[in-house]
Each structure stands twice: as structure tokens, then as C-alpha cells.
């Protein structure tokens, strides 16, 4: 079983890594596959280029045996749809997939491309953000009544790591330190490439 963790990773930060490790250990998965989007359909334009975001992820994960980067969405280009990525990974790996989402993302799941197809391709792990698990339960009951908790969908409370990519971009733009907020090597990459200035 493998966990798919998609996102803009603009930039990847320590919170992403700790969350991925916690979920990997909790679900005893073989690996976590990080999938950077080319362009997320429900988000504005990313600040760093797809190539830079991919490179930062590769730097961040180089020492993590059970983490890897999948560049399918970057290679595909255009708007990134999870359903295409899961089809591609299912075909390639022929293994059970679990899709890792924050509760804020999941509460817009009905707006995604082919949500019912996604649910056939992967089980869903929803990570609590801002105490929204009860809201998630109500949403599932209303929008996806066939989903059974702890079989098709798993609602997980994790430790709170209060770091966001937005905050990191703002700090960089003001010339403030992001030491210990991003994985080793990522800060140097941001500085060398002049990102988020």
C-alpha cells in the first residue's frame, strides 16, 4: 500500500515532511509518493515554477528512504487533475493507493474532477486542520453517503505544525530567515534561485 501526497509544495516545508512521516508510520505504508502539481485547478498561479518546486522536493526528500517524488503532473503540464494521476499510478504500480488530503481540501472534494472515480482508485486519508473532523463527517454523510469510515475514508488527527508555504514566501520576500522551517538544502536553493523575492 502506498500513500499519494499531492500539492503545490510552493515551497515544500518541514510540516509536509513530518505529516508524511506520521501518516506513513500510522498506516504502515511502503512509501509516500509526493506529487507536485503543474497547476492546481482550484488555486491561483504558483509563485515558483514547476521545475523549481520539483527540484526543491527532490532536495527535501533525498535522505528519506520511504519518500519519493513523482513528476507525472509536471511532465503532463496544464491543469493537474488527481483522477488522471491516480489512474497513471494505479496502472504503473498495480497496488492499493491511499490519497492524503487536508480537511480543508477534502471539504471541496465534490468540486474535483470525477470524485466518484477517485474514490474507486484510492482510499482517502483526511488529516484534521482547525478541528474540522466533525464537519468532514457531516460532509461525507451528505455528499458521499456510501463512504464508510475506517474502510474507505480515514479521519486522522495529527500533531499541529504551524508552518505554511504562504508564511515562508512572505518571510523570504521580507528578507527574514526560514532556517529550520524548510528541509536542509531547500533554503539554499531558494536563496540561490532568488525565489519569492
Residues 128-155: pLDDT tens digits?
Answer: 876 788 899 999 999 999 999 999 999 9
Q: Are 195 and 188 in contact (CB under 8 A)?
A: no
Decide: pTM greater than 0.75. yes
- Closest by CA to 136, choosing from 153, 119, 113, 117, is 153
Q: Are 153 and 123 in contact (CB under 8 A)?
A: yes
Phi-psi region at 185: left, alpha or beta (left = phi > 0; alpha = psi -120 to 50): left
Q: What homologous superfamily is domain 2-162 in, according to CATH?
A: HUPs (3.40.50.620)
Ranges of the chain with pLDDT below 50: none
How many whole angstroms separate alpha carbon 50 and alpha carbon 77? 9
List pLDDT tens digits, range 46-74.
Answer: 889 999 999 999 999 999 999 999 999 99
- In this predicted structure, what is the pLDDT of residue 42? 65
Element (H, E) at 4: strand 2-7
Enter the C-alpha cell of residue 65: 528512504
Amino acid at each position: 500500500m502506498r500513500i499519494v501526497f499531492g500539492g503545490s509544495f510552493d515551497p515544500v516545508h518541514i510540516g509536509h515532511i513530518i505529516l508524511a512521516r506520521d501518516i506513513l508510520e500510522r498506516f504502515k505504508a511502503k512509501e509516500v509518493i509526493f506529487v507536485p502539481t503543474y497547476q492546481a485547478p482550484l488555486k491561483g498561479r504558483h509563485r515558483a515554477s514547476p521545475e523549481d518546486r520539483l527540484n526543491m522536493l527532490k532536495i527535501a526528500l533525498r535522505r528519506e528512504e520511504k519518500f519519493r517524488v513523482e513528476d507525472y503532473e509536471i511532465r503532463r503540464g496544464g491543469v493537474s487533475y488527481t483522477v488522471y494521476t491516480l489512474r497513471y499510478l494505479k496502472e504503473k504500480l498495480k497496488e492499493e493507493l491511499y490519497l492524503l488530503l487536508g480537511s480543508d481540501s477534502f471539504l471541496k472534494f465534490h468540486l474535483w474532477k470525477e470524485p466518484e472515480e477517485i474514490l474507486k482508485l484510492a482510499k482517502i486519508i483526511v488529516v484534521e486542520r482547525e478541528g474540522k473532523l466533525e464537519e468532514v463527517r457531516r460532509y461525507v454523510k451528505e455528499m458521499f453517503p456510501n463512504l464508510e469510515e475506517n474502510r474507505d475514508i480515514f479521519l486522522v488527527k495529527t500533531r499541529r505544525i504551524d508552518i505554511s508555504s504562504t508564511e515562508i514566501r512572505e518571510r523570504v520576500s521580507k528578507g527574514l530567515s526560514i532556517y529550520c522551517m524548510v528541509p536542509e538544502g531547500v533554503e539554499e536553493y531558494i536563496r540561490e534561485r532568488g525565489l519569492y523575492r
